[in-house]
């Protein structure tokens, strides 16, 4: 079928589906489609992906369902766009993306789907032939243990290296510290924070103000706080390699 006929079949539909989105992207990337879409690569639309995710987060913060619906659509478009680029390169398809995430969810929720794999770090209880995890904390423990197993992360260093370096530095620092604290090899000093035994809301404000002051002080001294914390994360990760 010609591109014009394929495009015409998608006009004025009462309701579109995921298959329609995949077809639209295929048409846009075809010879004779959209010149801009055809020229794009993973690298050229990388920042678009980040921007769309931040806009979806803003919709969540605004508690705006209509905005969130729209922004999630934009995020989905980015997923489909990248999948299409990879499909054209013979790497993987959108169907592979869906298959991968479904398999991950099934494997990492043994308390729901059951499991035939043995992992001594999984705390799931087996009751009447079915796996059980009765608390959210137990689910998280299982998720992390299964993730380490499937990614073949046998050491803390490997686990820390598996945390994306593309994350914002503060988010990455929190993840690195959390992993190291869980492993019992790192403990932050309350003397540094001056937090004491304050309640949660007070701590929230205290650490927010402290982080702001650190960023402002770094700026005053000509230091990029994001880059400085990124480099600190690199040093912390290297320490456990």
Is residue 75 a contact partner of residue 20, using CB atoms and an 8 Å limit? no
Q: Determine, yes or no, domain membership for 182.
A: yes
Task: Classify residue 55 by burial, with Cβ atoms within 10 Å: 0-12, 13-18, 19+.
Answer: middle
Task: Tell whether 75 and 115 lie within a shared domain.
Answer: no
Q: Determine, yes or no, domain membership for 10.
A: yes
The domain total for the chain is: 3
Phi first, then psi: give them for residue 150, nearest 5 degrees: -70, -30
> What pLDDT sits at residue 142?
67
Task: Tell whether 139 and 170 lie within a shared domain.
Answer: no
- The crossing angle, in degrees rounded to 10, of helices 200-220 and 225-239 is 110
> What pLDDT sits at residue 116?
47
Q: Determine, yes or no, domain membership for 102.
A: no
Tens-digit pLDDT profile for the chain (241 aa)? 789 889 999 998 999 999 999 999 999 999 999 999 999 999 999 999 999 999 999 999 999 999 999 999 999 999 999 999 999 999 999 999 999 999 988 888 887 787 645 544 544 554 444 455 667 766 666 666 666 666 665 688 888 988 999 899 999 999 999 989 988 888 887 656 666 667 888 888 989 999 999 999 999 999 999 999 999 999 999 998 8
Task: Tell whether 137 and 171 lie within a shared domain.
Answer: no
Q: Determine, yes or no, domain membership for 215.
A: yes
Q: Determine, yes or no, domain membership for 141.
A: yes
Residue 28's domain spans which residues? 3-97
pTM: 0.70
CA atoms of 76 and 164, how far apart (whole Å): 21
Q: Determine, yes or no, domain membership for 103.
A: no
- The alpha carbon of 204 is separated from its chain's Cα centroid by a whole number of angstroms, namely 24
């Amino acid at each position: 079928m010609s591109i014009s006929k394929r495009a015409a079949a998608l006009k004025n539909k009462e309701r579109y589906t995921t298959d329609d989105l995949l077809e639209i992207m295929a048409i846009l990337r075809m010879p004779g489609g959209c010149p801009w879409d055809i020229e794009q690569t993973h690298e050229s639309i990388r920042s678009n992906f980040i921007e769309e995710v931040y806009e979806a987060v803003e919709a969540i913060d605004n508690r705006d369902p209509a905005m969130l619906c729209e922004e999630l659509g934009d995020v989905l478009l980015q997923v489909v766009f990248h999948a299409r680029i990879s499909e054209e390169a013979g790497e993987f398809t959108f169907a592979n993306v869906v298959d991968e995430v479904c398999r991950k969810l099934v494997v990492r929720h043994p308390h729901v789907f059951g499991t035939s794999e043995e992992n001594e770090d999984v705390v799931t209880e087996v009751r009447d032939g079915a796996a059980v995890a009765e608390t959210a904390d137990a689910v998280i423990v299982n998720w992390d243990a299964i993730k380490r197993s499937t990614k073949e992360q046998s050491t803390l260093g490997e686990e820390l290296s598996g945390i994306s370096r593309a994350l914002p530095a503060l988010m990455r620092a929190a993840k690195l510290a959390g992993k190291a604290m869980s492993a019992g090899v790192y403990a932050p000093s309350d003397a540094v924070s001056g937090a004491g035994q304050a309640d949660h809301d007070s701590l929230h404000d205290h650490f927010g103000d402290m982080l702001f002051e650190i960023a402002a002080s770094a700026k005053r001294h000509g230091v990029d706080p994001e880059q400085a914390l990124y480099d600190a994360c690199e040093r912390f990760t290297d320490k456990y390699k």
